[in-house]
Amino acid sequence: MTQTAAGEGEVGFPAPIHGDRRLRRWLGSRWQPGRWVNIGLPYFWLLLFFFLPFVIVFQISLAEPQIAQPPYTALTEWVDEAVLQVRLNLGNYALVVEDELYRAAFLNSLWVGLVSTLGCLLIGYPMAYAIATAPERWRVPLLMMIILPFWTSFLIRVYAWIGILKGNGLLNNFLLALGLIDEPLTILHTQTAVYIGVVYSYLPFMVLPLYANLSRLDMTLLEAAADLGCRPWRAFLRVTLPLSLPGILAGSLLVFIPVVGEFVIPDLLGGPDSLMVGRMLWTEFFSNKDWPLASALALVLLALLVVPFVALQRWQSRLEEER
Amino acid sequence: MKRRRWPLYSLLAFGYAFLYVPVLLLVVYSFNASRLVTVWGGFSTHWYGELLNNTQILDAAWLSIRIATVNATLATVLGTLAAMALVRGGRFRGRGGFELLLTAPLVMPEVIVGLSLLLLFVAMQHGIGWPDGRGFTTITIAHITFSMAYATVVIRARLAQMDRSLEEAAMDLGARPLVVYLRITLPLIAPALLSAWLLAFTLSLDDLVIASFVAGPASTTLPMVVYSSVRLGVSPQINALASLILLFVSLAVIIAGLALARKRD
């Protein structure tokens, strides 16, 4: 093979060599079986087990529930040999959008997402800023301490708060012993408990992207501001804060999106008034066995989250380009 | 520029206290002799003994560990392939969709993932007869689907930082791409592979919502047992179990961290 190529070159035809190289590049980029397996295998897995399920959810959301196995009606039916009847039931969507209870659940979920994101930001921003400006050798251990709780069980960390917030729990016992309160506060099974649990569980998701952003901040800009007579607080508001907006956005999205669909925290810490979509979906599915309605709820929730989702995706690919 | 740092550091300390105090209290009260979880009745390891005789919890723990092991291994393999495709694959058709499918599981509410996968499994069983019933296989597939997204993030970050000159040197010396991949690239990203494996393992061990959707009647994972017990109220046995899980996870993370730090030196 190499001999032929060299031989042709000697004769004085530059074109075949050029063509050979082009051919090899073409082969290299398109016909490597390794490359196909490399990209194709994970792609296939995600299409089959992540994308296809949504198609099926969409299909079932247009069906009607029935007491059978599976517990939903087929969309298509052969009426006689030549007529295929398609029945699309839009009633589930109408119910989700119009029913007061579901609307309240959606609004409350968005509200909880918003308040918890702000809570995470208020606690997380000073932490990320302190870590990013700490002496070099302290940064990695401090960061590890943020990540470590993320490795421990989510369910168990939520469970820990039940013992603390209960009527006769640790917080109330502590406050009673100090004499700050005369009778136990009711915190568990209220919306407040949900906020505490969510902020606690999602705090690392806010701190990490903020740290990534703040640690790359150009400190000379702050020095310049100080040299020009800007007070530290003002320099923070006018230099640091605007520059850290991408970090704030990323952290907020990483908290907001999953919190809106959260199930475990409102179920264990919340009360009857903390209606959230994730919890209603669970109830429709497991208690009422209404699969079509649960599917419609899932898709409306998904539609609500598409915009923040695309924003997150954009931010990630921009971060990738910056590297 | 010298500025007062103590207000900032006290906020930092407050944040760490917020993160760690609840977990520490949980561990302390697992050694409580009293049945009432929140009233201190003296030191005792009674609940740990009781836990070790609870076959329901032990069976569930064994199932969870088996699922987590298979999940972590396959998720790391798929995550490595996906990360290679994104960092080294250049432009390929459907790259945007691929990235979307890899980002979505990171933030997608668990109830949606669980519901959609269950409906897929039901439809597949109806259509092609597989998977036959639900249990170990379906839970593992569901876990791999979201764990591989996390594994990809970890491995991708490492691959993007990696110095390519070693790979290029091997190529120049005539090594075939597969050999370079196996003998140069993989050993260089080994620390990331270990982190990805551990992350996928703990994610699987921790998952309640998705497993609840795709589990069959005969397969109950550890979080499902913990959840049904917690719904009935706090119990000292669950405190003991929680402490053991925290101990194992912290040990694994610290040992892995030390091993990686030593390798770097």
**Which of B20, B115, B245 to mutate to test binding with chain A, by most A CBs within 10 Å of its CB?**
B115
pLDDT for residue A22: 52
Q: What is the CATH number of the domain that holds A278?
A: 1.10.3720.10
CB pairs under 8 A between A and B: 242
Q: Identify whether A300 is part of a domain.
A: yes
Q: For residue A55, how far is the Cα from the chain centroid?
A: 21
> How close B189 gets to chain A, by Cα (Å)?
16
Q: Identify whether B157 is part of a domain.
A: yes
DSSP letter string over A168-229?
TSHHHHHHHHHTS-SS----TTSHHHHHHHHHHHHHHHHHHHHHHHHTT--HHHHHHHHHTT
Fill in the DSSP letter of residue A153: -
Q: Least CA distance to B21: which residue of chain A? A: A160
Are residues A295 and A205 part of one domain? yes
Contacts of A118 (CB under 8 A, 6+ apart): none
Q: Which residue has the tokens 């997608």?
A: B108
**Range of B238's domain?**
55-264
Mean pLDDT (whole number) for B215-228: 92
Contact indicator for A105, A277 with CB cutoff of 8 Å? yes
Are residues A98 and A51 part of one domain? no
**Who among A51, A148, A222 is closest to B253 (CB)?**
A148
Tens of pLDDT, residue by residue over A116-161, are: 999 999 999 999 999 998 888 888 889 888 988 877 788 888 999 9
Are residues A36 and A172 part of one domain? no
Domain count, chain A: 2
Fill in the DSSP letter of residue A86: E
pLDDT for residue A19: 45
Q: Which two tokens stand for residue B189?
A: 């990203």
Contacts of B145 in chain A (CB under 8 A): 45-46, 49-50
What's the whole-model pTM score? 0.88
The rounded distance, in Å, linking the Cα atoms of A69 and A77 is 17
pLDDT for residue A16: 43
Q: Identify whether A79 is part of a domain.
A: no
Percentage of chain B lying above the pLDDT 90 cut: 47
Percentage of chain A lying above the pLDDT 70 cut: 89
Q: Which two tokens stand for residue A44?
A: 């296939």
Q: What is the CATH number of the domain that holds B229?
A: 1.10.3720.10
Mean pLDDT (whole number) for A234-246: 88
pLDDT for residue A274: 81
Q: Identify whether A69 is part of a domain.
A: no
Q: Identify whether A29 is part of a domain.
A: yes
Q: Across the interface, do B99 and A126 touch by the CB < 8 Å criterion?
A: no
Confidence of residue A15 (pLDDT cuts 50, 70, 90): very low
Mean pLDDT (whole number) for B202-211: 94
The rounded distance, in Å, linking the Cα atoms of A171 and B75 is 41
User: Measuring CA to CA, which residue among A253, A246, A255, A211 is closest to residue A120?
Assistant: A255
pLDDT for residue A111: 95
Q: Identify whether A80 is part of a domain.
A: no
Q: Which two tokens stand for residue A282?
A: 């669970």
pLDDT for residue A27: 47
Q: Across the interface, do B20 and A149 touch by the CB < 8 Å criterion?
A: yes
Tens of pLDDT, residue by residue over B98-122, are: 988 998 998 899 999 999 999 999 9
pLDDT over 90 at A79, yes or no: no
Q: Across the interface, do B246 and A41 touch by the CB < 8 Å criterion?
A: no
Domain count, chain B: 1
Q: Across the interface, do A123 and B199 touch by the CB < 8 Å criterion?
A: no
Confidence of residue A3 (pLDDT cuts 50, 70, 90): very low
The rounded distance, in Å, linking the Cα atoms of B230 and B232 is 5
Contacts of B177 in chain A (CB under 8 A): 32, 34
Q: Which amino acid is at A125?
A: Y
DSSP letter string over B174-233?
T--HHHHIIIIIHHHTHHHHHHHHHHHHHHHHH--HHHHHH--TT---HHHHHHHHHHT-
**Who among A127, A203, A285 is closest to B115 (CB)?**
A285
Q: Identify whether A278 is part of a domain.
A: yes
> How close B71 gets to chain A, by Cα (Å)?
14
Q: Across the interface, do A29 and B206 touch by the CB < 8 Å criterion?
A: no
The rounded distance, in Å, linking the Cα atoms of A201 and A156 is 11
The rounded distance, in Å, linking the Cα atoms of A33 and A28 is 10
Q: Across the interface, do B249 and A232 touch by the CB < 8 Å criterion?
A: no
Tens of pLDDT, residue by residue over B185-200, are: 899 999 899 989 999 9
Q: Which two tokens stand for residue B1?
A: 């520029």
User: A147-186 burial, b if ≥16 CB within 10 A, otherwise e?
Assistant: ebbbbbbbbbbbbbbbbbbbeebbbbbeeeeeeeeeeebe
Q: Which amino acid is at A56?
A: I
Q: What is the ipTM of this complex?
A: 0.90
> How close B9 gets to chain A, by Cα (Å)?
7
For chain A, the average pLDDT equals 84
Helix or strand (DSSP H, E) at B39:
none
Are residues A8 and A139 part of one domain? no
Q: For residue A189, how far is the Cα from the chain centroid?
A: 25
Are residues A248 and A290 part of one domain? yes
DSSP letter string over A54-85?
HHHHHHHHTS-B-SSSSSB--SEEEEETTEEE
**Which of A122, A131, A151 to mutate to test binding with chain B, by most B CBs within 10 Å of its CB?**
A151
Cα distances (angstroms) measured from residue B182 to each of B80, B170, B187:
12, 12, 8
Q: For residue B33, how far is the Cα from the chain centroid?
A: 33
**Range of A22's domain?**
2-64
pLDDT over 50 at A1, yes or no: no
The rounded distance, in Å, linking the Cα atoms of A29 and B92 is 10
Are residues A144 and A15 part of one domain? no
Tens of pLDDT, residue by residue over B124-176, are: 998 888 888 889 999 999 999 999 999 999 999 889 888 888 888 888 888 88
Q: For residue A32, how far is the Cα from the chain centroid?
A: 35
